[in-house]
Copies of this chain bind each other. A is one copy, B any other.
């Protein structure tokens, strides 16, 4: 898939991955890859700047942990990050239902639940 399409939603993906617990950058990349079934194979040059962006925004915090003599920067979701994730979820749903209406992928809105 042309990953460029992620535009604007990478942050949401990162936040959602961190929702399941703190991870370091490399592990985040692998989590994205495995949870997407290999579809999201994002390069480090995409992830690290994004993480720093999120940190600047206050949505994640990071700290260095020395594991196996390796410096790992572990990222953790903050409270604002949780809220941001909720907002991202909402706007993703809005986007996907809106675009879906045009591209014919509209998931049945009520449908049981």
Contact = CB atoms under 8 A, between A and B. Distances in A.
A96 B97 CA distance: 10
A36 B5 CA distance: 20
Size category of the A interface is 35 or more
Copies of this chain in its oligomeric complex = 2
A40 B39 CA distance: 29
A40 B2 contact: no
A103 B107 CA distance: 15
Interface string A1-22: 1101111110011001100000
Interface of A: 1-2, 4-9, 12-13, 16-17, 35-36, 39-40, 88-89, 91-96, 98-105, 107-108, 111
